[in-house]
Amino acid sequence: MIEKNISFKDIDAKLTKKWLHICVERFSVKLPYSIINYSIHNYNNIKFELIPNQNINSFNALIDKRKREIKRLEVPKGLSSTIRREEKKLGSYLITFRSFGNKFPNYIAIEGYYLANNYIVFYKTYTKDGYLLENPEVLNDNFEKEYTSIKNIKDNLFCIFDKRKIDRGFCLENKAIIKIKEKQIQNSYVSVHFRNKYFRGYIRVKAGSNVKKDFNFEKLELENELIEISKCIINGYEGVLSKIVNKVYKNNTTFYNAEYLWGYEKANGDIDYPIIIINLKESFKSPYIQQKDKGELDKIFNNILASFHKR
């Protein structure tokens, strides 16, 4: 097996002039802004977004606009589009509504808005209620748990610079952190989805105390165009790195889908956390379609991997 050593000193200064910083529990990865213009943060199935340069006036305007949009949703007769609403108090607002209207009236969105340090933290998740079911009690009970859980998120938002609170949760652009109170939560993850005119994809960092069951690098599917497996040390942390590249043919054009996966490998072949997954897909406008150097993909991946460290 090939051995590699990737470290922070290998980072391309041009590519990484500006970073998008994500972290989960005690692990951190940076993503070069040069390959993205769009991102969604997803932490344990809750989507988050930071909206900068905000104040109480812009916060109130955003909430009023959102309320009007939700009110216009068409839902079945006898139902209301808005289910619950916690009015804005000191820059905090939570609303629960039937987000897909008539199409899927039992799908419920829970949206929260929180103003802090000139940022609006927006967070959202989906659940179901018991509408359309003969025995709705179970789903209604699940809905109550989901609602209570996301309602408590505001109380768990802390500034990342409080070093006492960095052991659990995740950060957004090094500005905010979600602190998880429930000690039984395992296998936390944070994902960043991104796209630009050339690429779309995601980076996911998983952390926790559980082993990823039934995973082994040798079990990876072999129908891919290229599989490269190597021992890889990232800033002093030993692990195993796999690189998978698929060729996709569409409209007489060749596209490349690439994925890197890095994690600790135990003696029995299982992979322990943390795991970094980097997935990248080409778009129609990708310069790599025009037979340019495919090594550029490696450069992007290696720069992201090189930023991995404990915080």
Residues 129 and 234 in one domain: no
Mean of the pLDDT values across residues 101-107? Answer: 85
Does residue 16 carry a pLDDT above 70?
Answer: no
- The residue among 117, 151, 185 that closes a domain is 151
Does residue 223 carry a pLDDT above 90?
Answer: no
When the pLDDT of each residue in the chain is averaged and rounded to a whole number, the result is 71
Does residue 221 carry a pLDDT above 50?
Answer: no
Does residue 146 carry a pLDDT above 70?
Answer: yes
Mean of the pLDDT values across residues 105-121? Answer: 86
In a domain, 71, yes or no: yes
Residues 212 and 252 in one domain: yes
Size of the chain in residues? 311
Mean of the pLDDT values across residues 17-27? Answer: 70
Residues 185 and 298 in one domain: yes
pLDDT of residue 64: 92
**Higher-scoring residue by pLDDT: 108, 22:** 108
Share of the chain above pLDDT 90, in %: 6
**Higher-scoring residue by pLDDT: 203, 249:** 203
In a domain, 161, yes or no: no
User: Reduced to 3 DSSP states, what percent helix, strand and coil does the chain have, rounded to the nearest 5?
Assistant: 20, 45, 35
pLDDT of residue 66: 92
In a domain, 162, yes or no: no
Does residue 121 carry a pLDDT above 60?
Answer: yes
Residues 90 and 109 in one domain: yes
Condensed to tens digits (0 to 9), the pLDDT of residues 237-285 reads 777 887 777 666 667 766 667 777 777 666 666 666 667 777 777 665 5
Residues 181 and 303 in one domain: yes
What is the C-alpha separation between 136 and 143, in angstroms, rounded? 10
- Say which residue the tokens 């090939």 belong to: 2
Does residue 233 carry a pLDDT above 50?
Answer: yes
What is the C-alpha separation between 284 and 265, in angstroms, rounded? 36
The mean-pLDDT minimum among 44-53, 90-99, 218-227 falls in: 218-227
pLDDT of residue 185: 46
> Based on the structure, what is the number of domains in the chain?
2
Does residue 76 carry a pLDDT above 70?
Answer: yes
Residues 27 and 113 in one domain: no
Give the E-state strand segments of 117-156 in sequence order.
119-128
How sure is the predictor about 157, in pLDDT bands with cuts at 50, 70 and 90?
Answer: low
Does residue 196 carry a pLDDT above 70?
Answer: no
What is the C-alpha separation between 55 and 61, in angstroms, rounded? 10
- List Cβ<8 Å contacts ≥24 apart for 14-22: 15/299, 15/300, 15/303, 16/303, 16/307, 19/307, 20/173, 20/192, 21/171, 21/173, 21/174, 22/170, 22/171, 22/172, 22/190, 22/192, 22/203, 22/205
How sure is the predictor about 215, in pLDDT bands with cuts at 50, 70 and 90?
Answer: very low
Residues 98 and 64 in one domain: yes
Residues 291 and 232 in one domain: yes
Residues 117 and 14 in one domain: no
Condensed to tens digits (0 to 9), the pLDDT of residues 43-61 reads 777 888 878 889 999 999 9
In a domain, 293, yes or no: yes
Residues 33 and 53 in one domain: no
- The CATH number for 293's domain is 3.40.1000
Residues 95 and 178 in one domain: no
**Higher-scoring residue by pLDDT: 290, 173:** 173
Residues 197 and 95 in one domain: no
How sure is the predictor about 82, in pLDDT bands with cuts at 50, 70 and 90?
Answer: confident
- The residue among 106, 136, 151 that closes a domain is 151
User: What is the span of the domain harbouring residue 126?
Assistant: 48-151
In a domain, 294, yes or no: yes
In a domain, 42, yes or no: no
Share of the chain above pLDDT 70, in %: 50
pLDDT of residue 268: 64
pLDDT of residue 58: 95
